[in-house]
Structure 1
Amino acid sequence: MKTLAILASITAVLLLSACAPISSIREPVTQQDEMLIVAPEAPIAGTPTLIEQRQTALREQNWATYLDRTETLLFVSEPEQQNQLLLETYAQLQEIPTAFWQQSPVLRHQAWSSIATTHQITPSFQGAWLESTQSLFHDHPPTQQLTQLMLAKIRSPGSQRIAILLPYDNRTQTLSHQIRAGILAAYWQTAQQHQLLFFNLDDFDSPLDAFEATQQAGADWVIGPFDRNTVDALAPVANDRVVFLNAAPSAPASWQLPFGTTDTLDQLIQHIDQHHYCNLAVLYADQPANIEQIAHLSELWLNTLGHRIIPLSFEPNQRNLRDELGRALLSDQSQVRANFLQRTIGNSLTFFPRHRADWHAILLLGEREYLSNIRPQLDFFQVNLPTYATDTLMPSEFRVDHLEPDLKNIHFLSYPGVLSPELITSPLAALGWDSFLITQYHQALTDGLSLNGATGKLRRQNNGLLSRQLILVNFNNRGQLIVDSSQPNSRPFAGFTGEPAPLHPRDRLERQQELLELITQPSF
């Protein structure tokens, strides 16, 4: 009986041990090498038999015993040894055949199976999968500890040196300052663990010398330049850690983030077409660039049966704009009829000219200065039709509480950054912001995901060029800039930094002085 009592006690201890929690993690793994770690450096005291049994099970591919002995070793090991053991086991999980996972009825084995799946998942999706596994198998201590280790590695990729290579001559200085401001604004939204290195292209004899200087400084990434000649000069040496702020067709491995959006008109037509308009009046300045857009617009709009374009051109000098617009609206015909009636009845008439009624929507093509004069004239003729424009109406400065009454009720495409002027002050600053984001989220873009940036929703193409989807905004009756009601949630910039919300400007300013001391920038 005494022997039976002892055996019963041992059985109870073993059962309790299987459910006991593993000691908490003292310190996440920070090394940047592959997560393949051999057996613990120091043998676990009093457990040579367990280690031998585990190694034997590994050699014989007895996976059930291998996992069971692993969990037993985890329970009796020190925290540092637990981390090593878990990471070693994770590396071995990819060797376990799918048939074992499918046939095993043990729930603990299914937890290991879920973690093993990350070997077949691209890095961008591993974090979400691990979080789901952590939640699903919350009562399995090895799963909790291993997922925490892996998530710590994913979320803390380590410090990087990011070189910013921009020109600062009289022609480009203003542009470079805005780009640099956007890079710094994005940097301040992160944990500031990276080091920024600013290089002035004018300090070097050639662009290649400047690029070589960034490499000698140990730069992991290079952002810039943006001017055409310098980009072409650096294209032969550009790799997948270079972010050009222009197109670089001869450098497909690089990241190319140009300022302009090539398919703006296509995107705008998609928005207009959602409202099922048929007759589209196009008011445009008589200039070559706008005439080319009219030709492209015809290809896009006239593909649908029943669609019609009514092109109306005006002189760029804007003289006699009201008279020309009146003729386009056929308001002069109302005047002719009124004159005839006045002569017929012998009395003067008070009337307002009736304009043509076959327009369903209006599209404006031209520069911002030109288009700002059309809206008041449309108001004069009481034309209350949906009015659209391309990204030429995007402000050159993003200002808080700025009103544009002359552009009221015009819907146009823009960088999303225009909605947060407290963070991003100009389109070029938005370009700088997104160039920094690429260095942080390049893996997601490489895996085919899109990134909600300050210049739009970005997606990498096979040639390295980043396509951009703009958002539709409009000025309301007061001339206040708002996001169009047809748009999904584009504000606040939840996707700009991967964080729920950016820092408040006040908090950023309080930390600015301290942060600037950490940044290496010769010409700041």
Structure 2
Amino acid sequence: MSFYFLSRVLPFSFLPAGRAQSKTALKSLAVALTSASLLHGCSSPQPQAEKTAPEAVKPEQPKVEISAVKPPELLVSIDPELERQKAFENRDWPAYLQFSYDLWQESPPARQAEIEDQAWQALLPLDDMTLQQLDDNSDPRINAWSHLIQVFRLQGLPFEHALSDLQLFETDAIYRSHLLPKLLSQLPPEEEVRNIAVFLPMQSKFKPVAEQIQNGILKAYYRNENLNRKLRLNFYDSTDITQVSSLYFQAKQEGADVIIGPLRKNAVEQLQGFDDRNIVALNTIDGITSFTQFSLKSSDKIQQLAEGFAQQQYRMLGILNSDEKENALNAALLASVWNQPPQQSLVQVSYSEQKPELRKAFDQLVNASNSIERKNTLRWTVGEKLEFYPRVREDLNAIVVFDSANRLAVINPQKGLYLLETPVYTATELNQQNLKALKNNHDLKEVELLTQPVTLNPEDLQGTFEAFGWDSLQVAANLPKLKKGACLSNTKTGYLRIVDNQVQQTLVWAKFDDKGQLTPYRLPHITPQLTLEEKMETESDAEDALQQRLQDELKSGDMEGVSP
């Protein structure tokens, strides 16, 4: 071991030399060995690592967070009554209604009713702008009151509709508990019609007309269960004009709620000074009256025709009419209305009522007669028979015929001879002869008709005056609702409503199908096509609007990642 240690410590080799050198070397080696032995014996052994027991793992102590202690909030007592009064004095209506709601929640019923009444009286005088501000508030405690005030400022039928919506949607408003029932109880009760008196001249030259009107009234009465169950009818003879006023007082004494009639103009004039809104006169007179006037011809069919053609973007009309007074007048009125806008035009052909040459008149309207004349000229020139088919005008958007249904059935098939697809319209007068001709007439296929509802649903009514009598009873029975703005659609002479004490009729559209049966019809609504200039202008406006919107968004910083 010692040697190994020295060989590692003194790494040199022994080389042969002289004897003296050998002796000296041996001595040196002996000294070195001795020293090494002494050193080895004296040196302490290399310390070894002590084995120690593993330290015990102490459990992790929970962290304790220390935060500052907040002082308790000071509770401030608010008196809703006092704050409500301050808001009222400052005209701060949103705050006033909020404190009213809070106070209402804590109050007994009697005090609740008082709070509702006070809020109503405070808000009722507000102007429309202030009410609109309340209406725009998102808090239902506030905007519900605006709705209430606005509803009770309405009149007539709009009030009834709005009141129904109010009761349906404002279910949480506090005024529903006491105020709204109180307001409803103060409304005047709706008039109810029970007894109707009818004034007709049954002994004069108007007797045939009066009898037809009476028949129409009775048919409406007996075929409508609601009417015959609640109404009582009394008929009075108003032949003697001097006794019309006396008849009026007699009917009132006998319990008449509404009076239908009289029929003749001079008889209606006898009641002109009477301040009674519950009269439905069967004629119109000059001057203002407090009662309703209902004329058999209160519809404006010419204006309705023109509006229907304009709705379909028509530009060129062809009018065909007889020279009979009524037909000629209707044609002239339509021509006058249609020629007003400069972009609309028409061509008109009339024929004799006594000797109507219907085919010739139609050929003239579509320029077929000119084509025939040119053919005849060529045939005479060349002296030979020519193969010929007339060339007709194709610029007409519609052909309007003013004549009877029987003659219309002769005119309409002429389209087929010239392969025309131009629609044919009419607004024929309603009478027994026309009603019969309009039934399942194959020659009238595709004709469009502006007419009275009785044409589609006759109910065995025999002509115009019976339909007029039917509607007069409908108007009288529903007079309170019509006065409020309602419209009657279950009628025979047109859809009915009252404007400025005049009954206005709106006619209905019908069309004959391919089998010649008349069916209800709705006119198409054509959107006008823009010209190239209008399109370019519209596109330019849209581009300008887009540029402006982008600039606004850049200024407001709404567009991320984009800088102006």
| Aligned residue number for residue 506 of structure 2 | 469
> How much does 1:316 deviate?
0.6
2:152 to 90, 113, 119: 119
> How much does 1:222 deviate?
0.6
Q: 2:487–2:496: 8 Å Cα contact kept in structure 1?
A: yes
Q: 2:404–2:434: 8 Å Cα contact kept in structure 1?
A: no
> How much does 1:364 deviate?
1.3
Q: 1:186–1:437: 8 Å Cα contact kept in structure 2?
A: no
Q: 2:359–2:414: 8 Å Cα contact kept in structure 1?
A: yes
| Aligned residue number for residue 221 of structure 2 | 184
2:123 to 94, 97, 110: 97
| Aligned residue number for residue 498 of structure 2 | 460
Are 1:168 and 2:202 counterparts? yes
1:263-274 alignment runs, 5 A limit: 263-274=300-311
Taking the aligned partners of 1:227 and 1:175, their CA distance within structure 2 comes to 15
The DSSP-based 3-state class of the residue aligned with 1:234 is: coil
The DSSP-based 3-state class of the residue aligned with 2:208 is: coil
| Aligned residue number for residue 548 of structure 2 | none
Q: 1:415–1:427: 8 Å Cα contact kept in structure 2?
A: no
| Aligned residue number for residue 161 of structure 2 | 128
Q: 1:186–1:433: 8 Å Cα contact kept in structure 2?
A: no
Taking the aligned partners of 2:178 and 2:472, their CA distance within structure 1 comes to 35
The DSSP-based 3-state class of the residue aligned with 2:297 is: coil
1:178-257 alignment runs, 5 A limit: 178-181=215-218, 183-184=220-221, 188-189=225-226, 192-202=229-239, 206-237=243-274, 239-257=276-294
Taking the aligned partners of 1:145 and 1:193, their CA distance within structure 2 comes to 34
> How much does 1:264 deviate?
1.8
Letter in 2 for 1:420: N
> How much does 1:241 deviate?
0.9
Q: 1:71–1:142: 8 Å Cα contact kept in structure 2?
A: no
> How much does 1:313 deviate?
1.0
Letter in 2 for 1:233: Q
Report the number of matched residues.
416
Relative to the length of structure 2, the TM-score reads 0.60
Does the C-alpha gap of structure 1 residues 378 and 222 become closer, same or farther in structure 2, counting only changes over 3 Å?
same
Taking the aligned partners of 1:106 and 1:276, their CA distance within structure 2 comes to 48
The DSSP-based 3-state class of the residue aligned with 2:448 is: strand
The DSSP-based 3-state class of the residue aligned with 1:237 is: coil
Q: 1:290–1:365: 8 Å Cα contact kept in structure 2?
A: yes
Q: 2:318–2:365: 8 Å Cα contact kept in structure 1?
A: no
Give deviations 1:379-431, integer Å, cap 9, x for gaps.
44544312122242677787899313333322232223433334977544443
Relative to the length of structure 1, the TM-score reads 0.64
The DSSP-based 3-state class of the residue aligned with 2:412 is: helix
Taking the aligned partners of 1:222 and 1:143, their CA distance within structure 2 comes to 40
| Aligned residue number for residue 324 of structure 2 | 287
- Structure 2, unaligned stretches of length 5 or more? 1-95, 526-564
The DSSP-based 3-state class of the residue aligned with 2:313 is: coil
Taking the aligned partners of 2:103 and 2:452, their CA distance within structure 1 comes to 52
Taking the aligned partners of 1:120 and 1:472, their CA distance within structure 2 comes to 37
Range that drifts further, 257-266 or 192-201: 192-201
Range that drifts further, 214-223 or 137-146: 137-146
The DSSP-based 3-state class of the residue aligned with 1:172 is: helix
Q: 2:292–2:502: 8 Å Cα contact kept in structure 1?
A: yes
Taking the aligned partners of 2:442 and 2:421, their CA distance within structure 1 comes to 15
> How much does 1:271 deviate?
0.9
Q: 1:450–1:459: 8 Å Cα contact kept in structure 2?
A: yes
Q: Percent identity?
A: 22
Taking the aligned partners of 1:367 and 1:89, their CA distance within structure 2 comes to 70
| Aligned residue number for residue 347 of structure 2 | 310
Letter in 2 for 1:361: A
Taking the aligned partners of 1:376 and 1:119, their CA distance within structure 2 comes to 59
Which structure is higher in RCO with an 8 Å CA cutoff and minimum separation 6?
A: 1
The DSSP-based 3-state class of the residue aligned with 1:240 is: coil
Q: 1:161–1:218: 8 Å Cα contact kept in structure 2?
A: yes
1:480 to 495, 514, 517: 517
- Structure 1, unaligned stretches of length 5 or more? 1-61, 76-84, 489-524
Does the C-alpha gap of structure 1 residues 411 and 166 become closer, same or farther in structure 2, counting only changes over 3 Å?
same
1:37-436 alignment runs, 5 A limit: 64=100, 68=104, 72-73=108-109, 94-98=120-124, 114-115=147-148, 117-138=150-171, 143=176, 150=184, 157-158=191-192, 160-169=194-203, 170-181=207-218, 183-184=220-221, 188-189=225-226, 192-202=229-239, 206-237=243-274, 239-261=276-298, 263-339=300-376, 348-349=385-386, 351-392=388-429, 402-422=439-459, 426-436=463-473
Give deviations 1:129-178, integer Å, cap 9, x for gaps.
23222222446798389878949989975453222222334433442234
Q: 1:204–1:210: 8 Å Cα contact kept in structure 2?
A: no
Structure 1 vs Structure 2 CA RMSD: 4.6
Taking the aligned partners of 2:186 and 2:510, their CA distance within structure 1 comes to 39
> How much does 1:107 deviate?
6.1
Range that drifts further, 383-392 or 350-359: 350-359
The DSSP-based 3-state class of the residue aligned with 2:176 is: helix
| Aligned residue number for residue 535 of structure 2 | none
Q: 1:400–1:421: 8 Å Cα contact kept in structure 2?
A: no
Letter in 2 for 1:124: L
1:438 to 460, 475, 491: 475
Does the C-alpha gap of structure 1 residues 368 and 225 become closer, same or farther in structure 2, counting only changes over 3 Å?
farther
Does the C-alpha gap of structure 1 residues 90 and 295 become closer, same or farther in structure 2, counting only changes over 3 Å?
farther
> How much does 1:72 deviate?
4.4
Q: 1:322–1:377: 8 Å Cα contact kept in structure 2?
A: yes
Taking the aligned partners of 1:125 and 1:423, their CA distance within structure 2 comes to 36
Letter in 2 for 1:136: F
The DSSP-based 3-state class of the residue aligned with 1:211 is: helix
The DSSP-based 3-state class of the residue aligned with 2:303 is: helix
Letter in 2 for 1:95: Q
Does the C-alpha gap of structure 1 residues 293 and 136 become closer, same or farther in structure 2, counting only changes over 3 Å?
closer
The DSSP-based 3-state class of the residue aligned with 2:168 is: helix
> How much does 1:337 deviate?
4.7
Larger gyration radius, structure 1 or structure 2: 2
Taking the aligned partners of 2:221 and 2:160, their CA distance within structure 1 comes to 27
Taking the aligned partners of 2:253 and 2:432, their CA distance within structure 1 comes to 39
Q: 1:279–1:308: 8 Å Cα contact kept in structure 2?
A: yes
Does the C-alpha gap of structure 1 residues 297 and 426 become closer, same or farther in structure 2, counting only changes over 3 Å?
closer
Give deviations 1:274-309, integer Å, cap 9, x for gaps.
223332211111234444444433332222224322
Does the C-alpha gap of structure 1 residues 96 and 453 become closer, same or farther in structure 2, counting only changes over 3 Å?
farther
> How much does 1:206 deviate?
2.8
Q: 1:418–1:424: 8 Å Cα contact kept in structure 2?
A: no
The DSSP-based 3-state class of the residue aligned with 1:206 is: helix
Letter in 2 for 1:131: S
Q: 1:182–1:428: 8 Å Cα contact kept in structure 2?
A: no
